[in-house]
Amino acid sequence: MDEDNQGNTSPYDNPQQFYSERIRYETSDGDFFHVDLKYLKDFTNNDESESKSTRSKGLVVILHGFESNSYSHLVIDMARSYLMEGFDVAAINFRGCSVEDILVGDDDKGKVQRRNIPNNNLGGYHLGFTEDLEFFLSQISSDESFEGLPIYLSGFSLGANAILKFLGESSCHKIDKYNIQGAAVTSVPLEIVLSASMLNTPGINKELYSRNLINSFKSKFISKYSGENKEKLPSSVYDKVMNAKFIYELEDSYLTNAYPQFKNHMDYYGKVQCKNFLNEISVPVLGINAQDDPFFHPEMSLEDNMDHIFMRFERNGGHCGFLFHQERDVGFSKNTTSWMPRELARFISHVHQSNL
C-alpha cells in the first residue's frame, strides 16, 4: 500500500497497512512464522521525492528483540530508514511473536485490537535461534522476485545476537549462496554470561524492564496454553513459568524444556552469545551500543582485532532508547526517522555503494 494512501495515519499507528504483504512460512517441524515485507515501489509511489528510483538496491532483513515483533515502533522506524536509502525490507517475526490488528464490534463504533498469533510448537525462539532466518533466506534465494538482489541483515538486542551468531557460524559458501553483503545491528548483547545478572538489579531494571518482559511472556503463554492446550505442557513447567519472577527462571523452566540442548540458563547463555562467533564473520558489520545500556555489564567489551566488525559505543542511548521515533512538526510525509536507524541505514548504503 502506498504511504500516501494511509491519509494522515502514521505507519507507527497502523503497521498492518504500512507493509506491502505478509507471508506465512510453514516449517518442516510443523510450525510456522510470518514475514512482513515492504517494497520500495510501494514506499516511493506518490511520494514527494518523485525523482527517486523505485528499483530496489537490495533487501534488508530485520530481526526484532525479545517479546517484540514487526509491528513495533522500533522495527517500523528501522524499515523506513532502509526504504529511504532505496532498499526493500523484510521483517521476520520470531515464532509466537506475530500480531494482527482486528476490528472488534460494529464497523462504525468498533475498536481495533492487537492480537498475538501463537505458534504451534512448544519452542518459539531464543537468543541463538537462527533456523527461521536461514529458512527465509533459502526461500528467497530461489525466488525470481529477489534474484540477484544483495541481502543485508539488521536487528536489535536478541535479534542482533541471532544475526551475528548466524553470520559467524555460516560458511563462506552459505554467505555467497544467500548473497549476504553486510549487517548493521544495535544494542548487541556481546557477553550475555557477563551481563546475566544486570536484568535482576534492583531498581528500574528489575521493576520495569524485567517485569514488563516477564508479564508479556506470561500473557502469551497463558493464551497459548489455556484450555485443552494446557495438557500439551508438563504441569511442572506451567507452574514454574507462572511463578517466575526473574527472566532466568523462565529460561530454566520453559526454555530448557523446549530446547533440551541447554542444561540451564547459564549453559544457554554460554552457548549462544554472539561473541563466540565474531571472529568467523566474513562480511562488514556495524554494531552500535550505548555505554549506559542498563542490560549490559559495564565491563562488556570487544576485541580490537576484529577484521570485519566495526563496533561503536555511544555515551548515551540506553537499551534501544535511541531507536525510539521522535515525532516532529514536519510530519510523516517527510520520512523522518530517529538517529539510530539512520546510522544503521547509512552504513548499509555505504557497504552497498562500495560493492558496486
Taking the C-alpha atoms of residue 257 and residue 235, their distance in angstroms, rounded to an integer, is 12
Average pLDDT for residues 34-54, to the nearest whole number? 72
pLDDT in tens, 93-148: 999 999 998 877 766 666 888 899 999 998 899 999 999 999 999 999 999 999 89
Average pLDDT for residues 171-199, to the nearest whole number? 90
pTM of the model: 0.89
Contact 284, 260 (CB under 8 A): no
Q: Which of 1-5, 49-53, 178-182, 231-235 has the lowest mean pLDDT?
A: 1-5
**Residue 332 clears pLDDT 50, i.e. is over it:** no
Burial class (CB in 10 A: 0-12, 13-18, 19+), 172: exposed
In angstroms and rounded to an integer, the radius of gyration of the C-alpha atoms of the chain is 20
**Residue 250 clears pLDDT 50, i.e. is over it:** yes
- More confident: 104 or 310: 310
**Residue 57 clears pLDDT 70, i.e. is over it:** yes
Mean pLDDT rounded to a whole number for the chain: 85
Identify any residues that bridge with 151 across adjacent strands, giving them in sequence order. Answer: 59, 180
pLDDT of residue 206: 65
Task: Provide the percentage of residues in the chain whose pLDDT is more than 90.
Answer: 58
pLDDT of residue 13: 77
Taking the CA atoms of residue 305, residue 315, residue 209 and residue 31 in that order, the dihedral angle to the nearest 10 degrees is -40
Average pLDDT for residues 2-20, to the nearest whole number? 69
Taking the C-alpha atoms of residue 166 and residue 53, their distance in angstroms, rounded to an integer, is 32
